[in-house]
Structure 1
Amino acid sequence: MATEDDVRRLALALPGTGEKTMYGTPAFYVRGKWFARMREERDVLAVPVPSEEEKLELTAARPGAFFTTPHFDGYAAVLVRLPEVDEEELGELLTDAWRLRAPKRLVAAFDA
């Protein structure tokens, strides 16, 4: 079971990241682009994904862990119920989201 503290620790461990608020909740950025945001529910995290198809695959495969709302219709982002994912899976989700938003040079340096 992942928590908001796990999100913060894992997100801020990625290169070039910082935290500020978005819509009154904690959000995590890489070089000015958001890659994760806590929702008002505080046990729900929003993260971008590569495509809407991937969002649909995640929500269909594990609807208890991944879901969406009309606000995210037409947008490649998924909502994650933190109690339904473990720390390892959370780390993978955050790293994948970070890779989508980080500059290519930063990703290359991270991979090196």
Structure 2
Amino acid sequence: MVTVEQVRHVALSLPRAYEALVRDRVKFRVGRIVFAALSADETELGFGYPKEARDALVAAEPDKFFLPRTSDLRYHWAQARMAALDEGEMRELIIDAWRMCVPKRVAAEHLRLLGSS
């Protein structure tokens, strides 16, 4: 199970990322683009995810992942139950979502620095 503080730590360690509170929900952004968000009760994590791959993600682990609400299906977005995620899995989801929002050179530089530490 991952905590809000673990999600925050990963998300805010990424270049250009910042936290915003929108309608009592914590969201992590790059510019105006949201790459991760917590539900109001902080039990669910929404994250950027390729539309064409999310049905397979949900089908593979339906107890862990689920589709966003109908009005959000047009976005590159998926959801997860935080109690079902481990820290490594959450880290990968957050970083991949962030990579969808930043210029490729920013992502490449950050990942290069991670690899050298």
- Report the counterpart of residue 65 of structure 2 in structure 1: 66
CA contact (8 A) 1:33 1:102 kept: no
Separation of aligned partners in 2, 1:30 and 1:90? 18
Give % identity: 33
Which of 84-93 and 24-33 deviates more? 24-33
- Report the counterpart of residue 98 of structure 1 in structure 2: 98
Q: Which runs of 4+ in 1 moved over 4 A?
A: none
Separation of aligned partners in 2, 1:9 and 1:45? 14
CA contact (8 A) 1:12 1:19 kept: yes
- Report the counterpart of residue 28 of structure 2 in structure 1: 28
- Report the counterpart of residue 56 of structure 1 in structure 2: 55
Query: How much has 1:43 moved relative to structure 2?
Result: 0.8
SS class of match (1:101): coil
Query: How much has 1:73 moved relative to structure 2?
Result: 2.3
Amino acid at match of 2:64: A
Note the alpha carbon deviations across 1:66-109, whole angstroms, 9 max, x for none: 10222322332101100001000000000000000112231121
- Report the counterpart of residue 115 of structure 2 in structure 1: none
Q: Which runs of 5+ in 1 are unaligned?
A: none
Separation of aligned partners in 1, 2:64 and 2:96? 17
Question: Structure 2 length as normaliser, TM-score?
Answer: 0.86
RMSD over equivalenced CA pairs, Å: 1.4
- Report the counterpart of residue 89 of structure 1 in structure 2: 89
CA contact (8 A) 1:22 1:37 kept: no
Question: Structure 1 length as normaliser, TM-score?
Answer: 0.89
